[in-house]
Structure formats: C-alpha cells, structure tokens
Structure 1
Amino acid sequence: MKICSVCHHCYEDAAAFCPQENYDSLVAARSGSCEIAGNYRLERLLEEDATGETFEATRINSSEPFIVRIFGGDSFGAERIDRESILREM
C-alpha cells in the first residue's frame, strides 16, 4: 500500500501517482493492500504516532465510514495500551 505524502490518501502498490491532485509523491507505507480484514478499505492516513496509525476507512459492502486504528508491534506501545485499557475499566 502507498500513501500520498501530500494529501495522505491510500493507494494500491500499482499506483504511480495520486489521481486526487496529480501529486507524484506516493510513498510505500505498509505491505499488502488497502483492503483489510476482508471488509474495510483504508482511504486516508489521519495520524501516525509511536503506537500506530489511524486511518479514515470505508466498510466495503455498505460504504459506511469508519476510523481504523492499526497498532504497531513495539512493546512500549503495547504496555501503554494495556495500561490505558485498565484505567478505562476502573
């Protein structure tokens, strides 16, 4: 999957440029397709931080908009997420 470094829209690896604005600046972001979990399409990167990435996404079969958070694999981020989950449950 590639992401436009200007407008942050997501594209399949075969894309050579961003058709939204004719930007030439697509950057390889992650392996695989824009479609994840068999039912969602990542549309635009909203935020990237130490714990992962947040995307604007669409449910493929209904075009319903969603926010999808993909967490990184580092242990520091995982520990923080566990702590925050525990705090929310109290």
Structure 2
Amino acid sequence: MSDTKPAAGDQRVLTGRVVSNKMTKTVTVLIERKVKHPLYGKYITRSTKYHAHTEDALLEGDLVEIKECRPISKTKTWTVVRRVEASKLI
C-alpha cells in the first residue's frame, strides 16, 4: 500500500486582523468578506471571528494569515502562518 497524504490545497488560508491577544498562545482573528444582497444587489460586509494558535507575540491590529489545521482545542482549528502587516500606532 502506498501512503496517501492530503494535498496542500486542502487547507483554507485566510487573511484577517487580530482583535484579541489576551489568551496564551491564542489570538482571535476577524475575517471580513463582502457578499452581494440577492434582491437589492448592494454589497454587505459580513464578518467571522476565528481562534488561531500562535507561538509568536502578536499585537491587536496586526494583519495575519491563518491556515486551517487539525482541531487543537474545542474552538481552535486554525493556526497563524505569518504576520502580513504590523499594527499601526495612532
């Protein structure tokens, strides 16, 4: 028998903002997407929050790339791949 490994394209990769970093080795990432209203045609912003595993110290406001992975805990099934952009100070 040959070993079959899942293809690299099986895991989703999303980009979003860190909105919370108060947990140990976990950040909350907000993903926003635009959807078109079926009747009126107006584009609406929908958002979803994901808990993602990270070993790095990320700050709120950082733009990060997250990848789907095996379940790490009850709510964590994503891991941070890289920081795309650091947060901007006001």
Q: Same fold (TM over 0.5)?
A: no
Structure 2-normalised TM-score?
0.29
Structure 1-normalised TM-score?
0.29
Higher helix content, 1 or 2: 1
Higher strand content, 1 or 2: 2
Structure index of larger Rg:
2
